[in-house]
Amino acid sequence: MADGIATYDYAVLRVVPRVERGEFVNGGVILFCRTKRFLAARVELERARLMALAPPDFDIDGAVAALATIPAICAGEGPIGSLPQAERFHWITAPHSTLIQTSPVHCGRCADPNAVLKHLIDVMVRR
């Protein structure tokens, strides 16, 4: 866009320790801005908050590891990482896991997708 403003899509990454209860803890954000060729995710999982919802035998390290794959995929790592950015974003946000899920995809407009990603982490994940 001429004025440096571009549209973006984002989704909140959620860790769901008990899918049958529908409870989750926000653990990150993924943001895609096609015109700026930007795809990135940031994850921050508050373990104590997650453990308050999780059953005693919940594998928190497994959840952390699963969540950590998302920024790696965004950065182009692994087989999914070799896909074009748009396909990676849509693969990550498609429902395919009970442990790691995403919110519905939302959109916005920005000049700096990195700044928006930081803002979304502050608002949606951090307390």
Copy the structure tokens of residue 73: 């995929």
Largest CA distance in the chain: 54
Predicted confidence (pLDDT) at residue 1 exceeds the cutoff of 70: no
Predicted confidence (pLDDT) at residue 2 exceeds the cutoff of 70: no
Q: Where are the domains of the chain?
A: 6-124
Q: What is the mean pLDDT of residues 93-107?
A: 93
In tens, the pLDDT along 7-53 reads 999 999 999 999 888 899 999 999 999 999 999 999 999 999 999 99
Predicted confidence (pLDDT) at residue 98 exceeds the cutoff of 90: no
Predicted confidence (pLDDT) at residue 127 exceeds the cutoff of 90: no
In tens, the pLDDT along 56-95 reads 999 999 999 999 999 999 999 999 999 999 999 999 999 9
Note the pTM of the prediction, 2 decimals: 0.93
